[in-house]
């Protein structure tokens, strides 16, 4: 059978199995693998073993579940039917963001529900759906014959929270992952008719800042005006970190931010997300204004700051003992996350008044990444997406972070082909997260084209 014939029959197999795929996805969404909460450790372990089982069912010759300092990492190997073919490392993460606020969901976040063309549930888009799409593509190909490339699978459980487990794994078991390319579908598309290849990711530098005031809650009448309130200090510190355009005021913060080059300006002009898009996607009454940069530039090309949560005091008439906030910087190449963190520490040191003291804890950082788009894998991916969608994919830099992309490049010299089948209005990290099923179906088709196409590319 010709390659084209094999592709055709694999596509048919995938279509036939799409209902089974949805059943499997609903089962996966049912596992509450929230990596943020230690109370869900057992759920994360369950998600890992559930994925291990899927890999075994696929016929992997080796499946292992590695314990880490946090949640297990699942590894699997599925050799091709022939030798001298490329090896593709398929990356995924089974962990999800917390579903709260639960009251804002129209259906149970862990009882996935199909409404219209969408399936709703936590992780549907980020990234239980796309992860299973990779397995569905492989299963469809196996239904037709042997797979044309060697496959390795690596699924982690801390993408949403911590870098250490994957860092440690790459250090200790890096040689296992030897591959020609990593396929990562944890990015997304700019629109359902805009296949997208991501070549730039922001990194991040995050920590929790705690401000300590009086030794105990104090009556705010008896002490108010004299004893410093840690909430006031924290508010001033946060407020001082940005100017009116939301630009970070830390000295030197932008020194290493790359200018946008002319080629990239051409890509940005094709980018469909304008002010109207951001207003509609956010439901906000207005955007942060910046006279010098377009919204998409501020998301993909420029760093930003975001306070994820703030907390202090209680429902009583008191000056509280402490206040804390999670301060997160999204950084871009060539910023260094440790250097940005040091800038914040210097700022806190300089600007915190002597009436309180401060501490920083739970630091997490990762570097921004630019992926080389001139590789056989990215070319194959581009062809695959073009074939399915009937239009050239857009090359794009996104605002999110996928730490493993940079780590694989830095530690193992493995380039990543980065795409995704989630849409901007999938509400990832928010309530009513969903995945657009017709797009996910096309995603599976594109993955089949990609895996066959990689082999072709190799032969060129």
Binding positions for a second copy, 180-209, rule CB under 8 A = 202, 204
218/227 Cα distance (integer angstroms)? 9
Which residue from 84, 315, 459, 460 is in contact with a second copy, where contact means CB under 8 A?
315
Binding positions for a second copy, 125-184, rule CB under 8 A = 160
Distance of CA 103 to CAs 116, 431, 432, Å? 22, 9, 10
Sheet containing 434-436, strands listed edge to edge, beginning at the edge strand earlier in sequence: 113-115, 118-120, 434-436
How many C-beta neighbours within 10 Å does residue 363 have? 14
Residue 418 interacting with a second copy (CB under 8 A): no
Binding positions for a second copy, 319-378, rule CB under 8 A = 319-320, 323, 325-326, 328, 330, 353-357
166/159 Cα distance (integer angstroms)? 8
Which residue from 116, 283, 291, 390 is in contact with a second copy, where contact means CB under 8 A?
283
Rg (CA), the chain: 23
How many C-beta neighbours within 10 Å does residue 445 have? 23
Binding positions for a second copy, 46-85, rule CB under 8 A = none
Whole-number minimum distance, CB 73 to a second copy, in Å? 21
Whole-number minimum distance, CB 119 to a second copy, in Å? 18
Residue 213 interacting with a second copy (CB under 8 A): yes
Please, are residues 148 and 85 in contact by the beta-carbon 8 Å criterion? yes
How many C-beta neighbours within 10 Å does residue 313 have? 16
Q: For a second copy, which is the closer residue by CB, 159 or 180?
A: 159
Whole-number minimum distance, CB 366 to a second copy, in Å? 11
Which residue from 39, 215, 276, 291 is in contact with a second copy, where contact means CB under 8 A?
215
Residue with tokens 């630091």: 363
Binding positions for a second copy, 85-104, rule CB under 8 A = 97-98, 100-101, 104
Q: For a second copy, which is the closer residue by CB, 85 or 340?
A: 340
Residue 401 interacting with a second copy (CB under 8 A): yes
DSSP β-ladder status, 218-219 and 318-319: antiparallel
Residue 394 interacting with a second copy (CB under 8 A): no
Residue 229 interacting with a second copy (CB under 8 A): yes
Q: For a second copy, which is the closer residue by CB, 140 or 241?
A: 241
> Closest Cα to residue 128, out of 11, 30, 45?
30
User: Who contacts 341 (Cβ-Cβ below 8 Å, separation ≥6)?
Assistant: 205, 207, 363, 365
User: Which span (6-14, 25-33, 131-139, 395-403) binds a second copy, by CB under 8 A?
Assistant: 395-403
Site size for a second copy (CB under 8 A): 90
Q: For a second copy, which is the closer residue by CB, 47 or 294?
A: 294
């Amino acid at each position: 059978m010709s390659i084209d014939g094999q592709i055709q029959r694999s596509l048919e197999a995938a279509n036939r199995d799409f209902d089974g795929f949805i059943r499997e996805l609903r089962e996966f969404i049912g596992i509450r693998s929230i990596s943020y909460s230690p109370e869900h450790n057992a759920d994360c372990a369950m998600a890992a073993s559930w994925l291990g089982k899927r890999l075994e069912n696929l016929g992997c010759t080796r499946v292992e579940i590695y314990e880490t300092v946090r949640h297990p990492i699942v590894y699997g190997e599925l050799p091709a039917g022939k030798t001298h073919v490329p090896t593709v490392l398929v990356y995924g993460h089974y962990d999800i963001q917390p579903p709260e606020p639960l009251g804002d969901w129209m259906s149970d976040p862990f009882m996935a529900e199909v409404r219209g063309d969408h399936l709703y549930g936590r992780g549907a888009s980020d990234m239980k759906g796309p992860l299973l799409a990779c397995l569905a593509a492989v299963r469809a190909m196996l239904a037709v014959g042997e797979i044309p490339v060697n496959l390795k699978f690596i699924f982690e459980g801390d993408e949403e929270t911590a870098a250490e487990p994957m860092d440690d794994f790459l250090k200790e078991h890096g040689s296992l992952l030897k591959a020609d390319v990593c396929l990562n579908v944890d990015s997304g598309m700019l629109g359902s008719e805009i296949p997208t290849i991501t070549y730039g990711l922001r990194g991040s530098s995050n920590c929790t800042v705690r401000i300590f005031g009086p030794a105990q809650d104090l009556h705010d009448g008896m002490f108010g005006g004299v004893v410093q309130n840690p909430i006031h200090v924290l508010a001033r510190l946060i407020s001082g970190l940005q100017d009116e355009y939301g630009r970070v005021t830390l000295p030197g913060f932008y020194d290493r931010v790359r200018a946008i080059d002319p080629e990239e300006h051409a890509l940005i002009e094709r980018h469909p997300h304008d002010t109207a898009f951001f207003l509609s996607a956010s439901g906000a009454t207005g955007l942060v204004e910046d006279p010098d940069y377009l919204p998409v530039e501020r998301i993909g090309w420029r760093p930003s700051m975001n306070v994820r949560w703030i907390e202090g005091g209680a429902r009583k008439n008191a000056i509280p003992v402490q206040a804390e906030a999670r301060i997160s910087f999204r950084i871009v190449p060539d910023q260094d996350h440790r250097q940005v963190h040091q800038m914040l520490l210097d700022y806190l040191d300089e600007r915190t008044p002597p009436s309180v003291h401060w501490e920083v804890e739970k630091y997490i950082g990762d570097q921004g990444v630019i992926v080389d788009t001139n590789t056989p894998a990215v070319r194959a991916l581009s062809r695959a997406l073009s074939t399915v969608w009937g239009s050239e994919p857009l090359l794009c830099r996104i605002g999110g972070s996928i730490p493993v992309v940079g780590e694989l490049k830095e530690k193992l010299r493995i380039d990543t082909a980065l795409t995704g089948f989630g849409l901007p209005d999938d509400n990832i990290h928010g309530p009513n997260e969903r995945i657009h099923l017709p797009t996910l179906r096309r995603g599976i088709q594109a993955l089949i084209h990609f895996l066959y196409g990689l082999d072709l590319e190799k032969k060129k």
